[in-house]
Chain A
Amino acid sequence: MIQFIIRRSLIAIVMIAAISVVSFIIIQLPPGDYLTSYIADLSAMGERIPAEQISALRDAYGFDQPIHVQYLKWVGKALRGDFGQSLEWGVPVSMLIWDRLGLTVIVGLSSLLFVWAVAIPVGVFSATHQYSLLDYLFTFLGVLGLAIPNFLFALVLMWVGYSVFGQNVGGLFSPEYQNAPWSVEKVLDLLNHLLIPMIVIGTSWTAGLIRTMRANMLDEINQPYVEAARAKGLSERRVIWKYPVRVALNPFISTVGYALPQMVGGVLITAVVLNLPTVGPLLLRSLLSQDMYMAGAIVMLLSILTVIGTLISDILLAVLDPRIRLE
């Protein structure tokens, strides 16, 4: 087991190194750089910049150096927590990013909990009561949840939250706590605001996982070991929850790994509509304005978090399923 964890961790480190190269290349791919678009903007406004000033700027940002030197410089600084200046905001990237990353993780994990809390019991019920009225109803609701666009659902929930419950909706904090230091009230306020994003983001995801859980359960539920457990005289609930559910859970553990990328890429529109201070909108904006240090840092950190998430889910899987430890 320890050997398994060590081997997986080493693979994860190699993976992160490879990802850093890839994210750097992606940043470099679009033609031109921040300076080019900056100069273009200035000339569009009729300003002329002397050539020596341009080359001085190039020097300062290191855009003239060969690509691998630029890469090494970037990685070297990143390891010390310095992701460079945000060219657009004019402040260090690290100042902007940590808060949003933290909130992204919080929104991601709470959506994941919501998804689990709904999908597991519903999936188990649907499988144990296959072709019953409720099974069909859950299937219907699941498909509906999958089909409704998230942003639309978000708007509806916001409207309901505002008009029926008189809630302050949108964002993750009420205005009075926006810049306040962390306190118990602020956490409660955050939890209050988390409800809508959690449901919106969770719904479409839940629908898929209910199907997965149901299908896995149906595979397991007629296995001889389940019958053996029943023959032992265990109660039906014990039989179901101890044996087939335990085996059918494996794909859920894997969701831990991709909760974060899902939060950034998958629900970007929702995040914009709900005005969530997560990294998704920030990444979108930095990509549009070619703010390469910002974009690079976000891509890099998200990838690292994803790799760590996957590592955690791998280890959890190995703990839960002895067959996986073998390989």
Chain B
Amino acid sequence: MQNVLLEVKDLHVNFFLTEGTVRAVNGVSFEIERGKTLGVVGESGCGKSVTARAILNMVRPPGRILSGEINYYGYSDAPVNLIALDPEGSEIRRIRWGEIAMIFQEPMTSLSPVHTIGNQMTEAICLHLNMPKDEALRYSIELLERVGLPQPGRLLNHYRHELSGGMRQRVMIAMALSCKPKLLIADEPTTAVDVTTQAQVLNLMRDLQQEFGMAILYITHDLGVVAEMADKVVVMYLGEEVEGADVDTIYYNPAHPYTRALLRSIPRHDIRLDRLETIEGNVPDPTNIPKGCAFHPRCHYYVPAQCVHPPYQQIGDGHWVRCTRAHEIGQQSSQTEQVL
């Protein structure tokens, strides 16, 4: 237990929209260990970004955290339940960025259009590290240098529209590292940048993780990226975890039909296919989640009598699956079908 940095327990977040109530996060539980990387994978709308925001206790209306616990073990032996804190209070504000920092999907829009890079960088540094302005500026230059940006001194006076996509994400990373957080939440940080830049950003994050010793919660829809980054993986579908295991198990021995379908839909260079496989059907309307197993309308293995409310159960060492037929599927696949 002493290795656990953050523990999410039975988290429920709802969005109250005029179209109906969306159970964006529906009973999610996972743990993040110190210095390790947890990958959270899923299609858009599966609740992974909402989970990230819940950790910082910044779910905004019409969303609301209904129940659950998010225990942070970062700065004392006694856990702090982050979602029990006042979302505008001083304690959660100290934890935000100081203990848990976050980088966002769109580096373009997550920087202010009318403030300089320097202004936005020093702001957090002055706030959390109590540095005077000039010292914060010097420190910012160091950080920008560390993430491999050229001419960091000049960069401080630039605005976001004067930087390229990769530079912006580097700036965000430098900013997120400024207060040496113990946990970095990365919400699809490479979705908006091109593939070469993506590789650079991922390498940078891995190097920095070693150097700073922080844990990373890596949110993405890209299983390929997760394979490179994560130690453990949680797969989410419609606000629920459908499978969780260490990264090798997920890739070589996936048990949930959804995980298997996701893996098959990764383009590969070693197998020639005429068409890229896709998952049949669409993500259902989130205000009207299918009864029983939420994945059943898209599932090849669906048997009406068996697939009623599958529980999230352990089927191997640290391997959790929400599927009543997981054992059968596992046997089947080893005989008939090569997944990877």
**Residues on A facing B (Cβ under 8 Å):** 222-225, 227-236, 242-243, 246-247, 320-323, 326
Residue from B88, B104, B114, B124 within 8 A of A227 (CB atoms): B104
* Residues of A close to B56: CB separation below 8 A: 231
Task: Indicate if the CB atoms of A232 and B109 lie closer than 8 Å.
Answer: no
CA distance A321 to B115 in the complex (A): 9
* Residues of B close to A230: CB separation below 8 A: 58, 96
* Residues of A close to B92: CB separation below 8 A: 233
The chain B residue sitting closest to A243, CB to CB, is: B112
CA distance A320 to B128 in the complex (A): 27
* Residues of B close to A236: CB separation below 8 A: 88
Task: Indicate if the CB atoms of B114 and A322 lie closer than 8 Å.
Answer: yes
Task: Indicate if the CB atoms of A231 and B111 lie closer than 8 Å.
Answer: no
Task: Indicate if the CB atoms of B127 and A232 lie closer than 8 Å.
Answer: yes
The chain A residue sitting closest to B106, CB to CB, is: A224
Task: Indicate if the CB atoms of B106 and A233 lie closer than 8 Å.
Answer: no
**Residues on B facing A (Cβ under 8 Å):** 53, 56, 58, 60, 88, 92-98, 101-102, 104-106, 109-115, 123-124, 127-128, 159, 161, 172
Residue picked from B60, B92, B95, most chain A C-beta under 10 Å: B60
* Residues of B close to A320: CB separation below 8 A: 114
* Residues of A close to B98: CB separation below 8 A: 233
How many A-B residue contacts, CB cutoff 8 Å?
A: 73
The chain A residue sitting closest to B123, CB to CB, is: A232
CA distance A227 to B97 in the complex (A): 12
CA distance A229 to B104 in the complex (A): 12
CA distance A230 to B159 in the complex (A): 20
Task: Indicate if the CB atoms of A235 and B88 lie closer than 8 Å.
Answer: yes
Residue from A225, A231, A326 within 8 A of B112 (CB atoms): A225
Indicate whether A233 sits within 8 Å of B127 (C-beta atoms), given known contacts A224-B104, A322-B159.
yes
Residue picked from A225, A231, A234, A322, most chain B C-beta under 10 Å: A231
Task: Indicate if the CB atoms of A323 and B161 lie closer than 8 Å.
Answer: yes
Residue picked from A228, A234, A243, A322, most chain B C-beta under 10 Å: A228
Indicate whether A228 sits within 8 Å of B111 (C-beta atoms), given known contacts A233-B124, A235-B88.
yes
The chain A residue sitting closest to B160, CB to CB, is: A225
Residue from A227, A247, A322 within 8 A of B58 (CB atoms): A227
Indicate whether A224 sits within 8 Å of B114 (C-beta atoms), given known contacts A231-B101, A232-B127, A233-B98.
no
Residue picked from B88, B96, B112, B161, most chain A C-beta under 10 Å: B112
Nearest CB of chain B from residue A89's CB, rounded to whole Å: 50
* Residues of B close to A247: CB separation below 8 A: 112-114
Task: Indicate if the CB atoms of A224 and B123 lie closer than 8 Å.
Answer: no
Task: Indicate if the CB atoms of A232 and B114 lie closer than 8 Å.
Answer: no
CA distance A248 to B329 in the complex (A): 55
* Residues of B close to A223: CB separation below 8 A: 109
CA distance A321 to B114 in the complex (A): 5
Nearest CB of chain B from residue A104's CB, rounded to whole Å: 33
* Residues of A close to B110: CB separation below 8 A: 224-225, 227-228
Nearest CB of chain A from residue B26's CB, rounded to whole Å: 23
Nearest CB of chain B from residue A247's CB, rounded to whole Å: 6
* Residues of A close to B115: CB separation below 8 A: 242-243, 246
The chain B residue sitting closest to A222, CB to CB, is: B60
The chain A residue sitting closest to B102, CB to CB, is: A231
Task: Indicate if the CB atoms of A233 and B95 lie closer than 8 Å.
Answer: yes
* Residues of A close to B124: CB separation below 8 A: 232-233
Nearest CB of chain A from residue B161's CB, rounded to whole Å: 6
